[in-house]
Amino acid sequence: LPSMINAQHGNIVIVSSSICGGTFLGYASYAPTKFALRALADTLRNELLGFNIGVHISFPADTDTPGFTQEQLTKPNECKLITPPELYSAESVAQDLVQRLKRGDYHILSKNLEANLSLMMTAGIAPRNNTLIDILVAPILFLVQQCWRIFNADKIAIKYGQNYLEKQHE
């Protein structure tokens, strides 16, 4: 960073996760760290504006990496039911990140449409990639997100808890 400040030029990319669009069962230890990265990027973006240093935050969806493979060994089945089924190659995620960085996007969205729609709804005061579309789509997305939460994520989580408690009483 000091050399970027001296040069008054540079880009920082922080890689978070599409889980920042909304978290659920199975991510209690993972999601807080990814949300913290998002807060760091939002803060640095603002702090470094006067230095001509770009800060970008990437939100990749499930990516085929050794870490993802390891995660599958302990991930609850209920969590697997909630998460999108798509798995993206590390190469395609990296290529997409570079393309969006060159475009100047602050939010480098994932390759997953559902995750991107959720991330649009949770951008807060951060710069938007397309403010007009965000404004027009927001009311519809709000309703879709709430229905998905109630009839999918929450329903699966409630059943998970009930099954756990039943097994404890056996």
Q: What amino acid positions are annotated as catalytic residues?
A: 16, 30, 34
Amino acid letter, residue 32: P
Parallel, antiparallel, or unpaired: how do β-strands 53-58 and 107-108 relate?
A: parallel
Calculate the alpha carbon distances from 85 to 34, 76, 90, 165 in Å. 20, 15, 16, 28
Question: CB count, 10 Å around CB of 13?
Answer: 15
Cβ atoms of residues 149 and 114 within 8 Å: no
CB of 53 closer than 8 Å to CB of 78: no
Strands 63-64 and 88-89: parallel
Which of 72, 67, 59 has its CA nearest to residue 111?
A: 59
Rounded to 5 degrees, what are φ and ψ at 11? -140, 140
